[in-house]
Structure 1
Amino acid sequence: MVDWDEQIKAHLFWVWNEGESFFKRGREGMLVITDKRLAFITKTEMSYKMHETHSIRQAKRFEAGENVFRPAEGYKLEHLERDLDKSPDNLEILFSQIIDITSEEKRWGTLLKVKVNLGDRSKVYKFSIAKGWLKYPAKDPMGFQKMDWSPLINLVKTSSST
């Protein structure tokens, strides 16, 4: 169901969601941020060409030190809803479910940690932005961006308090 007051605030590409255990691999996807939720999309209806164009723009913004927290042109709430319905692998986290959200500087990049209330238990999701990909034998990030996650952290914290 689309909430017409809801707006996409940012769309991040080349996002790596760390695996939950040593044997469970991480996954690549897009992180779509609205003013009410986070969505980690691994399976999308977005065309390869459109995804590639936005990924290249994001990489250039990182290089230039520009703000990467921007919506992707042409990707609307109805696209997000279709993507969320496309696969059970796609993840939706309402801000009201977030217990804690922090960033952690690592030697290799910056990690976003999101602790989520799942009712009977909680779970921590860990996201980072890849610099590039190694495609063989399995797709893996070659490196990670150092970034300031505070715009997202502040959005979640101010939205949760209202």
Structure 2
Amino acid sequence: MTPLMFAADQGHDFMIRLLVNQSPHADIRHKDSLGCDAFYIACARGHILCASYLLGCGADINTINSKQNRPLHVVAKLGKKDMVGWLLRMGADTGVSSTQPFDGMGVKGPPLEIAKASCLPPSLGAQILEMLERSDPDSRRAVRYT
């Protein structure tokens, strides 16, 4: 893990801005041993401000890790409702399937299937499922970040 990834993991948006702007070695596309970059890590931790800054710097909203999971898959699994909504508004692809199951889950597929199989509290799970089911590609941001 790089300092940029640690900052994303801990939600230190100021440090992310500092590293991206001041350090020639802060590469937003660098991946750790699990194939996760700083954007994926910020999303998985629910740090919207950090993810927003990284997305604005050119991070890929549909970045994949070594198990072919994307940020929308992991936040649906972990129950990060606000991050699910933000990723959907920013144009994350809901139709793409993971090719390998998450640890502890026998399910692979699109984020909706991951959310259905997650062991979330019923009310939270229902809210996330509704968000993913209602997601309309036309209502998302017209400009996609890549």
TM-score, reference length from structure 1: 0.26
TM-score, reference length from structure 2: 0.28
